[in-house]
Amino acid sequence: MIKFGTGGWRGIIAEDFTFDNVRKVAKALSIYYKKNFKSLKPVIVGHDLRFLSGRFSRAFSEILAEEGIKVYFVEDASPTPMIMYGVEKLSLDFGVMITASHNPHEYNGIKIIVEKGKDAPVTVTDELERIANSIDGKLARRNFFEYINEEKIVYYENKNEYIDSLLAFIDTGCIKNRSFKILFNPMYGVSKDIMLMCLASLRCYVDLMNAYRDTMFGLKLPSPERKSLLDMEYKMKEKKYDMGIATDGDSDRIGIYDENGNYIDANKILVLLYYYLLKYKGMKGGVVRNLTTTHTLDKIAEKFGERAFEVPVGFKYISEKMEEYDLLLGGESSGGLKIRGHVNGKDGILAALLMVEMVCKTGKTIGALLKEIEDEFGKKYFKMENIKITNKELLKKRFFEDKYVPEIGKKVKRISYMDGLKIYYDDDTWLSIRFSGTEPVLRITCEMNSEDEAANVIERIISVMR
């Protein structure tokens, strides 16, 4: 069964993510393309460093070529934002990335990219899902290199162009004069070469860790969350660095450590960058976040006379809202963010470079900037727990059909079922309960007034699930 979620289609390799199913998605894309477009432009196909990703990308490309759609094939493993950048710059209708992003190592996936380098909307992925699941039997194809010889598949490379776009976006001068020291952790993913080229051109001193290919990701989740970065945290405190940077498996998310080896979570990164762009760079524009991301962004927007929007989980919704209202920044608490004027999706490499620029340009440490923000907008405590579920239908009925609202001793301001259940309280705190669109877990997320309060709320929700 092929099922698209918030980040594309992801499945366990050799169970549902098979070569036959990958070919079915490729066939579905060709059918959809021919039905809805008068002329067929080339499709960029890229892949990450996961197990068999290169082979899966070839299988996908073979079907497109057999269907008469030219393929721009990226031979080297590449960051997802680089593929999105290519789709936008070449004014193509579609791109494809073989990746499961930050999912566990046994997963792989397919991300569909549409015009302007955006995440495919639900209207597209729902139709691709329907078509793919209706296809029976083996699909006709020939050897990959036959299509290469016929130039139906051609090799494509845009690494240097993408690097140039990153460096053009930031203030390189303020960084070059700092001799900035960075510990960089690509988490066995695809960002190493591009990030090193960027940092070298900025005259940064860089130490590397976890920078080789390991399809098991060191037996950790390839997501830049603190629990997956404890080896990095040890190194940050062992040796003096100005910053630690980690990117996930396909480079669309980041994690940051400050100069004291303190982990800076995704919500704080979003708050820091939005505040920096508005106050210190004098930029204008509103912000959009998904419903499980800090509301401090809303307070900053209000302070600077800008608008703030809330959307369901799934970066496609953030991209759509940013385009609709020409917003400055969009982001999510899982570590992905987009800045107006660059890639129309998450770009962890750009976000990391902007964090370096922020510290160099302001002359302030991350800790000092966070204190500046907290002094003006208050301090909230964010917490999320992923609960593996075996009784999804029972929980779905209880929370989303019977509309059970757990009691945590606060006055409810309003309730939303836009994406799962979200409860807004009158003291400017909130609680979200929703099923993940990429993993078989229930996500319980809250933002409270103290660390203990956040932990107690999570424990309360877990207890009512038992």
Interacting residues of 14 by C-beta distance below 8 A, sequence separation 6+: none
What residue has token string 């990164």? 269
Residues 145, 188: one domain?
no
Same domain, 177 and 267: yes
CATH number at residue 413: 3.30.310.50
What is the structure's pLDDT at 449? 96
| Closest by Cα among 63, 68, 73 to 25 | 63
CATH number at residue 289: 3.40.120.10
Same-domain check for residues 319 and 403: no
165 lies in the same domain as 153: no
**Buried-exposed string 61-83: b where 16+ CB fall within 10 A, e elsewhere:** bbbbbbbebbbbbbeebbbbbbb
- Judgement on whether residues 108 and 30 belong to the same structural domain of the protein: yes
Please tell me the predicted confidence (pLDDT) of residue 19.
98
| Cα dihedral sign, 40-340-316-10 | positive
pLDDT of residue 436: 87
CA distance linking residue 49 with residue 201, whole number of Å: 25
In this prediction, residue 41 carries a pLDDT of: 98
**Model pTM?**
0.94
Domain final position from 111, 134, 157? 157
Give the strand order in the sheet containing 441-448.
381-388, 441-448, 430-435, 421-425, 412-416
Cβ proximity of 222 and 187 under 8 Å: yes
Same domain, 416 and 363: no
**259 burial level (CB within 10 Å; 0-12, 13-18, 19+):** middle
Which structure tokens are listed for 231?
Answer: 């080896």
- The answer to whether residues 12 and 106 belong to one domain is yes
The pLDDT assigned to 307 comes to 98
Last-in-domain residue among 377, 408, 443: 377
**Which string of b and e fits 232-249 if b means at least 16 CB within 10 Å?**
bbebbeeeebbbbbbbbb
What pLDDT, on the 0 to 100 scale, is given for residue 439? 76
CA distances from 259 to 235, 285, 357, 367 (A): 12, 30, 14, 8
* Shared-domain flag, residues 317 and 286: yes
Q: Do residues 337 and 410 both lie within one domain? A: no
**In total, how many domains does the chain have?**
3
Residue after which a domain boundary falls, among 322, 349, 377: 377
Q: Using CA atoms, how far apart are residues 413 and 458, in angstroms rounded to an integer?
A: 19
Residues 99 and 167 in one domain: no
Residue by residue, pLDDT tens for the chain (466 residues) are: 999 988 899 999 999 999 999 999 999 999 999 999 999 999 999 999 999 999 999 999 999 999 999 999 999 999 999 999 999 999 999 999 999 999 999 999 999 999 999 999 999 999 999 999 999 989 989 999 999 999 999 999 999 999 999 999 999 999 998 999 999 999 999 999 999 999 999 999 999 999 999 999 999 999 999 999 999 999 999 999 999 999 999 999 999 999 999 999 999 999 999 999 999 999 999 999 999 999 999 999 999 999 999 999 988 899 999 999 999 999 999 888 999 999 999 999 999 999 999 999 999 999 999 999 999 999 999 999 999 888 888 888 888 888 999 999 999 999 999 999 999 999 999 999 999 877 788 999 999 999 999 999 999 999 887 7
The verdict on 271 and 147 lying in the same domain is: no
- Domain range enclosing 68: 4-157
Q: Give helix 80-89 / helix 348-362 axis angle, nearest 10°.
A: 100
Asked if residue 244 and residue 149 are part of one domain, the reply reads: no
